[in-house]
Amino acid sequence: MFENFISALVQDKLRDAISVLGAIESATKKRILVSWMPQGLRLDPCCVPSEDAPMTQNKVQTVEQNLALSRRVRSTRFKVGQMSRSVAPSLPSETFLGPSTTDDDEVSAHPTAALKAVGMRLSNPELIPTDQNHDSVYTMLLQLLALPLKTKEEVYQQSGDRMNAQRMRKKQHLLLDLSARRRYELRRFLDLEYWLRVVVQQEAVYLMQQQKIEKECGLGIEGEKADLRRKSIAKGLNWASKEYRLTRQSLHYFYCSTIDKPVTRAIRCLREDPKWHLSDFLRWDCADRGGCCSRACGCCERPRSTLNSLDLGHCTPACGCCAQYHGYRLKDFDTADTGRPRIDVMARRDDSFSGRMMDAHVWGLRSL
C-alpha cells in the first residue's frame, strides 16, 4: 500500500495519492499495535491479529498486553522531530524518514529520486515512528504529500510569481491542517491585527480632540471643563500607547513561534507590499460597511495617527472620520471586544465569510 502511495505521488496524481492515504489511515487505525522493544520503537508484525482468524484467549491476552504497552509508549512523549534530527539530518527536520540510504546531494538534486528512496524506507515497518500510535504515521504521509507543493512554492517565489506561490502555500495549509493550538494562534493574530487598527484610529481621535482644545485655548474661548478634558485625553493617549506596544509585541511573538509554517510564509510575503490592504475586495468591504472607501477622503490610503505613521488599514468602528460623517460614534473602545465576527482559519469554501477573509488577509488571492 505504501508503494501505491509513492507511485501515485511520483506520477503527480494527487487525487490517487489522497485515496491511498485514506486507505493507509484506515488500515493503520485497525491493525497496527505498538510494542516496546529494547532497541527502540518499532511495529511488531507478529502481534497484529488477522481479521479473518478467530481471537483465541492467548491472542486476546497478547492484544491487551500490547495495548498496555502502547500506553507506556505514548507516555514517554517520544518526539518525531528530535528523532529526525538525530537519525536523518539530511532530510527535512519536520519529517522522519528513517536512516539515509542514498547520497544527500542526489536526493536534494532529484526530488523524484528522493521520493522513491522514501518509498523504500516506508516499506520497512521498523523505520516508521509510532508516536501517538497511527497519528504520527498519518502526519508523516501528509507532510510527504506536501513536499511537491513546497517545491513548486519555492520555484514560483524565486521566479517572482507571488500569486502562484501563495496558491501553493494555501494548498499546503489546507492539506497539512493545524493543531488546535496553531489555529488559536492564527485566529488571535488576525484579531490582533484588527485590534491594532482600532487602537491607532482611537489614538487619532484623541489627537484630534487635543488639537481642538489647543485651538480653542489659542482663540481665548476655553471652557470651564477644559482641564477635565485634557486629563481625559491624556489618559486616553496613555492607554493607546500601552495597547499599541503590547499588541505589537504579540504580533512579533506570532512570527517567531510559527516561522516555518505555510501560513506564516504567506503572511510575510503579503505584508512585504505596504499597500496590500488596498486590494479591490478589501476596498469593497470597507465601503460596504460605510467606511472611508465609500467617500473621497482617502483615509485608508494614508496614516491615521501621527504617532504611529506606519500602520495603515481600513476603517473600524473607532474611525473618527466615519463618526464625523455619520454624526455619531458607535462606542468607546477600552477592551479588545470589538464585536467582529470570528474567522475560521481552516475554511475550505472560498465563498464563505471566513474563506473570503482568509483569501484577503492571509493569501492575497481575493478579488472582486
145: cell is: 504529500
Distance CA 368, CA 365 (A): 10
Amino acid 230 reads R
- Please give the pLDDT value at position 25: 55
Q: How confident is the model at residue 153 (pLDDT cuts 50, 70, 90)?
A: very high
Indicate the pTM of the whole model. 0.63
For the beta carbon of residue 348, count every other beta carbon within 10 angstroms: 10
Element (H, E) at 41: strand 40-43
Neighbours of 127 (CB within 10 A): 17
Q: Which helix (H) or strand (E) holds 34?
A: strand 34-37
d(CA 38, CA 40): 5
Please give the backbone phi and psi of residue 35, each rounded to the nearest 5 degrees, phi first.
-130, 155
**Residue 45's pLDDT is what?**
41
Backbone angles phi, psi at 98, to 5 degrees: 85, 175
Cell digits for 215? 485651538
The crossing angle, in degrees rounded to 10, of helices 80-87 and 134-158 is 70
Q: What is the pLDDT of residues 303-333, one digit of tens each?
A: 888 777 678 899 999 999 999 999 988 766 6
Between 53 and 357, the higher pLDDT residue: 357
Residue 238 is predicted with a pLDDT of 94
Place of cell 513548486: 152
Q: What tens digit of pLDDT does each residue of 289-302 get?
A: 999 999 999 999 99
Kindly give the residue spans of alpha helices, DSSP state H, lying in the chain: 2-10, 14-31, 57-75, 80-87, 104-109, 111-122, 134-158, 162-176, 180-218, 226-257, 262-271, 280-288, 320-326, 353-358
Helix (H, G, I), strand (E, B) or coil at 223: coil
pLDDT in tens, 196-243: 999 999 999 999 998 888 887 766 666 667 778 888 899 999 999 999
